[in-house]
Amino acid sequence: MCGIIATVGRNRAIPVLLEGLHRLEYRGYDSAGLAVLDGGRLVLHRKVGRVRELEAQVPAEQPGTVGIAHTRWATHGGVTEANAHPHLDTTGRIAVVHNGIIENMSALRARLEGEGVRFRSETDSEILAHLIGRYYFAEDGSETAGRPVAAVRAALRVVRGTWGIAALFADHPELIVAARNGSPLVIGLGEGQSYLASDSHALVPYTRRVVFLDDGEVARIDASGVQTWHSDGAQVDNAIETLEEVWGDGDKGRYPHLMLKEIHEQPEALSRCLSGRVVSETGTARLGGLDLSPRDLARISRVGLLGCGTAYHACRVGAQLIEAATRVPAKAEIASEFRHRNPVVDPDALFFAVSQSGETADTLGAVKEIQIKGGEVMGVVNVVGSSIARACGRGVYIHSGPEMSVASTKAFSNMVAALAVFTLMLARQRGLSVHDGRAYIQQLLDVPSRVAAYLDEPGPIDELVSWVTAPTTNMVLFLGRGLSAPVAAEGALKLMEVAYIPCIAYPAGEMKHGPIALLEEGSPVIVIAPRDALQDKTLSNLQECKARGARVALIHTAGDPVGRYADLSIPVPDTHPFFSPLLTVLPLQLLAYRAGLALGRDIDRPRNLAKSVTVE
């Protein structure tokens, strides 16, 4: 989603801004722009489309050592150059970039228009530029007049919503003002040069010394460092942290797309997630980041798992594992629904906020709701130091390594693996024997090599691609029961987002209560039925589909003769039924990838989507 990069110091700003914008591209965007100060004049460049198109428009030797830049993912207003950031105030001497949403936009816009302001865009963000200008250029004597930090603080007092902003003042070439409320910002400290970004990935080429802004803070950034204040004006003593997990630059390696690379990274990523966390000797698990003693574990009355999209599907798998293995009630819930239903938060429950990016606004909102109600919530997150990880304070990093393709693949697997490790820890405390704990560990540790074996020989995926991409196909139905129901949902989500093919996922038993009406001669149906206690029932549903003329592909355990019931058999290596989602999801990831490829889609950056969804 939207991204911010800014810099101030002794070096030319443009190379830093462009490099930063490139590093933010993976988040998804539709336009980009930047502003630099050149001899007291604000120079603005904006472009719809890719960062490389903006780059082509910016003079190579553009001077200026202070600048702000932005990638925009449209919320208010279409994808146009006028709506791209930065936005200027009426004098053209203040430029602002903004991530987030101004909720009282209509009232503020009407008020400013009533005062004679002429808006140049349809965005909510432009309001910020005008408001800041209004306070900065206030009559002499006003305490905000000519004072950048005071003007920003005053402007934000009348705004409701979420923001991460950077503001540039033509009269102050020595500084940038930043402010955060619900949209992440991190300040990078270099030698005689400082940086600001919405994502620490953009700072990596320059520095690892960073200060994370917290909600409600306003910062003055200059070449020598940063000063920060709360919204009430009290100065904050921010800790300088060191970025420890530094991600590469999204290099595709030997793969044509990041998505394919990340699919193939799963064996290694899974091993990394498990490594050092399962203890064969005692048949249990160690998750130091949770900081839960056996006594704490004993007090857990229930487990709630919250996430969005793929993370929600991982939550559904995790909830079933936890409940089945520990007998502690566990429930997965879509984070974007959670806080809006005024949930009851049991103080003895343990919640997990599951998120690859750690920046998903809906999941972060759920974290806050739990905390407000006195609940305990921990992160299951990939990005170290992300907003959710920091808000939770405790949790499990899933250690997928960088996931830059918008379609999440290896993060799903590692979320499931991390939750499987937690399941073991809780199960041992709740009576699982050391013998059974060891068997669980053995099966779990075998998963990465089985994933690798499948990826080496994935079976007849291309035939399935030809079914789902056929001009006669108007919908694909995915079915599974138990642990395979969330896998079906994940397969459908992946095929929709990468190939833009309409898909429906249903728990197989529900199919006859409605979706069966959609089936006609040749309709593609993908059934997930590994060898488990529910397989027979799912196979009956498969027969019901076939009886209505559907073409059925069956994802099943290798060596299981059930493949003969389907028109297309896709075997995956055997594993303990608990871990089958880690195998059965693989053909579905490859299907989405290859179908997207066959249809000429933008695989790593599908239309309309963003990698981290930082608005509600």
∠ CA 368-373-375 to the nearest 5 degrees?
80
Exactly one of 47, 410, 494, 611 is catalytic; which is it? 611
Q: Where do we find the tokens 């499987």? A: 420
For ligand M6R, the closer of residues 489 and 539 by Cβ is 489
CB of 612 to ligand M6R, least distance (A): 5
Residue 561 in tokens: 């003769």
**Is residue 387 part of the contact set for ligand M6R (CB under 6 A)?**
no
With CB under 6 A as the contact rule, which of the stretches 405-413, 460-468, 472-480, 540-548 interacts with ligand M6R? Answer: 405-413
Asked whether position 406 contacts ligand M6R by CB under 6 A, the answer is: yes
Q: Is 423 in the site for ligand M6R (CB under 6 A)?
A: no
Task: Select the span of 35-43, 253-261, 302-310, 554-562 touching ligand M6R (CB under 6 A).
Answer: 302-310
Strand locations in 363-512 (E): 376-381, 395-397, 476-480, 503-507
CB-based contacts of 342, cutoff 8 Å, min separation 6: none
CB-CB contact of 439 with 473 (8 Å): no
Among 311, 468, 583, 603, binds ligand M6R (CB under 6 A): 311
| DSSP one-letter code for 198 | S
CB closer to ligand M6R, 99 vs 363: 363
Is the Cβ of residue 130 or residue 316 nearer to ligand M6R in the bound state? 316
* CB closer to ligand M6R out of 64 and 184: 184
- Binding residue for ligand M6R (CB under 6 A) from 162, 200, 336, 355? 355
- For the question of residue 494 being annotated catalytic, the response is no
Taking Cα atoms as reference points, which of 9, 24, 6 lies closest to residue 68?
Answer: 6
Nearer to ligand M6R, 577 or 587 (CB): 587
Q: Is 486 in the site for ligand M6R (CB under 6 A)?
A: no
Which one, 148 or 395, has the nearer CB to ligand M6R? 395
Q: Which of 64, 184, 289, 309 binds ligand M6R (CB under 6 A)?
A: 309
Q: How far apart are CA 29 and CA 18, in angstroms?
A: 15
Backbone phi, psi, residue 347, to 5°: -65, -20
State which amino acid sits at residue 327.
R
Is 408 near ligand M6R (CB under 6 A)? Answer: yes
Q: Which of 29, 32, 82, 27 is nearest to 54 (CA)?
A: 32
Decide if 2 is catalytic. Answer: yes
Residue 28 gets which letter from DSSP? -
* Smallest gap from residue 522 Cβ to ligand M6R (A): 28
- Residue 156 vs 311, nearer CB to ligand M6R: 311
How many residues line the site for ligand M6R (CB under 6 A)?
Answer: 17
Residue 548 parent element (H or E): none
Q: Minimal distance in Å, beta carbon 349 to ligand M6R?
A: 21
∠ CA 26-31-36 to the nearest 5 degrees? 100
Q: Which is nearer to ligand M6R, 13 or 361 (CB)?
A: 361
Indicate the SS3 state at residue 45.
strand
DSSP class of 483 = T
Rounded Cα gap, residues 94 and 137, in angstroms? 10
Can residue 612 be called a binding residue for ligand M6R (CB under 6 A)? yes
Cβ pair 369, 339 in contact under 8 A? yes
CA proximity to 76, closest of 5, 14, 25, 124: 124
Q: Specify the stretch interacting with ligand M6R by CB under 6 A; choose among 85-93, 158-166, 350-358, 573-581.
A: 350-358
The single residue among 4, 187, 210, 308 that binds ligand M6R, judged by CB under 6 A, is 308
- Residue 162 in contact with ligand M6R, rule: CB under 6 A: no
Question: Given candidates 71, 123, 198, 310, which one binds ligand M6R under the rule CB under 6 A?
Answer: 310
According to CB under 6 A, which residues from 492 to 521 bind ligand M6R? Answer: 493, 497
Region for 395 from its dihedrals, namely left if φ exceeds 0, alpha if ψ lies in -120 to 50, beta otherwise:
left
Helix, strand, coil in percent for the chain, rounding step 5: 40, 25, 40
Task: Return the residue matching tokens 């460092």.
Answer: 225
Q: Please report how close the Cβ of residue 489 comes to ligand M6R at its closest, in angstroms.
A: 11
Q: Give the Cα separation of 9 and 19 in Å (integer).
A: 16
Alpha helices in 282-348 (DSSP H): 294-299, 309-326, 335-338
Q: Is 613 near ligand M6R (CB under 6 A)?
A: yes
What type of residue is 486? P
Closest distance between ligand M6R and the C-beta of residue 476, in Å? 16
Residue whose CB is less far from ligand M6R, 83 or 310: 310
Shortest spacing between CB 1 and ligand M6R, in angstroms: 9
Q: Which of residues 108-137 bind ligand M6R (CB under 6 A)?
A: none
Indicate whether 356 belongs to the interface with ligand M6R (CB under 6 A): yes
The span from the CA of 295 to the CA of 46, in Å, is 57
528 backbone dihedrals φ, ψ, rounded to 5°: -110, 115
Among 325, 407, 519, 586, binds ligand M6R (CB under 6 A): 407
Q: Is 259 a residue that touches ligand M6R (CB under 6 A)? A: no
Q: What is the CA radius of gyration of the chain?
A: 26
Crossing angle of the two packed helices 580-598 and 461-468, in degrees rounded to 10: 60
To ligand M6R, the closest distance from the beta carbon of 355 in angstroms equals: 3
Q: With binding defined as CB under 6 A, does residue 266 bind ligand M6R?
A: no
- Residue 423's Cβ-side half-sphere holds a number of Cα atoms within 13 Å equal to 28
Alpha-carbon distance of 205 to 305, in angstroms, equals 35
Report the C-alpha gap between 362 and 367 in whole angstroms. 9
- Residue 462: CB minimum distance to ligand M6R, A: 22
Measured from the CB atom, the residue of 83 and 612 that comes closer to ligand M6R is 612
State which of residues 360, 387, 538, 575 lies at the interface with ligand M6R (CB under 6 A). Answer: 360
Please say which residue, 105 or 590, places its beta carbon nearer to ligand M6R. 590
Which span (135-143, 316-324, 406-414, 444-452) binds ligand M6R, by CB under 6 A? 406-414
* Catalytically annotated residues: 2, 611
Under the rule (CB under 6 A), what is the footprint of ligand M6R? 308-311, 355-357, 360, 363, 406-408, 493, 497, 609, 612-613
